[in-house]
């Protein structure tokens, strides 16, 4: 029992140490300065993205609208819904910045009326929206997306080439009386496909087992294609084409 009480007292002492640290941090914080710095950040970000920064002017206008009762829970719900259904990237970015500035306008009004907790809460929400905007417009993210598209295009072209190669081999290697079994087709075509891949990529093997693994993988790919791909299956089942002499 005494041990539990001692642990409880120790936790309270540690909590008090933590709270003292929190109080010291908050003493150095100034809500008005934080609002101003956030406004400056928006102007800087908009300027970087090629827009004329007029954040303070907009926020002053939103403060007038808020005092007139035009910015409220209902209007925020409408803004949120409009943002949710918007498909155009540029329009979505604009709506996010507008929402951010409206929150800062409300934060400023709260600060002017000594409602500091409300002001801090609104600033936190504004910074969340600003972070969302940065995530959408970040050039590094756009570059990453462009690289991803390039890789995807290359894979698509490679897949199309591999598919064409597979269909050609399935047809050209077909015996005069057609394929007897899927096992025969997959083994013959898979081996040919593997050899082409090995030659093109100049793959070197330390052991025959490594080469056999590659061949077996391609045999399995061909077998799966015959079973799962309707077009490949049609080629497999079709009668051999007659070639003119």
Q: Using one digit for the tens of pLDDT, what is the confidence trace for 191-209? A: 998 888 888 878 888 888 8
- DSSP annotation of 240: P
Helix axis angle, 116-137 to 31-48, nearest 10°: 20
Task: For residue 80, tell me if it sits in a domain.
Answer: yes
In whole angstroms, what is the distance from residue 109 CA to residue 61 CA?
Answer: 12
Do 128 and 34 fall within a single domain?
A: yes
Do 154 and 69 fall within a single domain?
A: no
Do 41 and 129 fall within a single domain?
A: yes
Do 99 and 42 fall within a single domain?
A: yes
Burial of 160 (0-12, 13-18, 19+ CB in 10 A): exposed
Which among 137, 159, 181 is the end of a domain? 137
Task: For residue 39, tell me if it sits in a domain.
Answer: yes
Do 122 and 167 fall within a single domain?
A: no
Q: Determine the straight-line distance between the first and last CA of the chain, rounded to whole angstroms.
A: 101
Task: For residue 41, tell me if it sits in a domain.
Answer: yes
Which among 93, 111, 137 is the end of a domain? 137
Do 106 and 187 fall within a single domain?
A: no
Structure tokens at 173: 């290697």
Task: For residue 11, tell me if it sits in a domain.
Answer: no
Confidence at residue 199, expressed as pLDDT on a 0 to 100 scale: 85
Do 217 and 131 fall within a single domain?
A: no
Task: For residue 22, tell me if it sits in a domain.
Answer: no
Do 130 and 184 fall within a single domain?
A: no
Do 38 and 123 fall within a single domain?
A: yes
Sign, CA torsion 78/83/87/88: positive
CA-nearest of 213, 160, 156 to 190 is: 213
CA-nearest of 237, 231, 232, 199 to 215 is: 199
CA-nearest of 110, 114, 98 to 59 is: 98
Task: Report the SS3 class of residue 1.
Answer: coil
* Residue that has been written with the tokens 């005069």 in this structure: 176
- DSSP annotation of 225: H
Confidence at residue 10, expressed as pLDDT on a 0 to 100 scale: 57
Which among 119, 137, 155 is the end of a domain? 137
How would you write the pLDDT of the chain (245 residues) with one tens digit per residue? 545 445 555 566 677 777 776 665 555 458 888 898 899 889 888 888 778 778 899 999 999 999 999 998 888 877 876 776 666 778 888 899 999 999 999 999 999 998 888 888 999 999 988 888 888 776 554 454 455 445 544 544 455 667 788 888 988 999 988 998 988 999 999 899 888 888 887 888 888 888 888 888 888 888 888 877 778 888 888 888 764 43
In whole angstroms, what is the distance from residue 28 CA to residue 11 CA?
Answer: 26
Do 79 and 123 fall within a single domain?
A: yes
Confidence at residue 26, expressed as pLDDT on a 0 to 100 scale: 55
Task: For residue 111, tell me if it sits in a domain.
Answer: yes
Q: Residue 120: which domain range?
A: 30-137
Would you say how long the chain is, in residues?
245
Do 184 and 222 fall within a single domain?
A: yes
Task: For residue 216, tell me if it sits in a domain.
Answer: yes
Total count of domains within the chain:
2
Task: For residue 72, tell me if it sits in a domain.
Answer: yes
Confidence at residue 7, expressed as pLDDT on a 0 to 100 scale: 52
Do 119 and 199 fall within a single domain?
A: no
pTM reported for the whole predicted model: 0.49
């Amino acid at each position: 029992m005494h041990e539990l009480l001692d642990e409880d007292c120790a936790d309270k002492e540690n909590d008090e140490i933590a709270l003292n640290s929190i109080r010291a941090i908050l003493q150095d914080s100034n809500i008005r300065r934080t609002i101003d710095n956030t406004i400056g950040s928006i102007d800087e970000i908009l300027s970087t993205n090629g827009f004329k920064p007029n954040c303070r002017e907009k926020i002053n206008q939103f403060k007038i609208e808020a005092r007139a009762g035009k910015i409220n829970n209902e209007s925020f719900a409408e803004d949120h819904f409009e943002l949710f259904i918007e498909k155009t990237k540029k329009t979505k970015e604009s709506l996010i910045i507008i929402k951010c500035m409206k929150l800062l306008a409300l934060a400023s009004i709260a600060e002017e009326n000594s409602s500091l907790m409300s002001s801090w809460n609104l600033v936190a929400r504004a910074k969340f929206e600003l972070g969302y905007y940065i995530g959408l417009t970040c050039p590094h993210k756009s570059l990453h997306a462009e690289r991803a598209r390039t890789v995807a295009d290359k894979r698509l072209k490679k897949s199309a080439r591999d598919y064409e190669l597979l269909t050609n081999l399935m047809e050209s290697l077909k015996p005069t009386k057609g394929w007897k079994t899927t096992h025969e087709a997959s083994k013959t075509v898979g081996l040919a496909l593997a050899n082409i891949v090995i030659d093109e990529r100049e793959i070197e093997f330390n052991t025959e087992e490594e080469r056999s693994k590659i061949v077996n993988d391609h045999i399995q790919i061909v077998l799966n294609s015959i079973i799962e791909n309707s077009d490949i299956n049609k080629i497999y089942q079709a009668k051999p084409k007659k070639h003119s002499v």
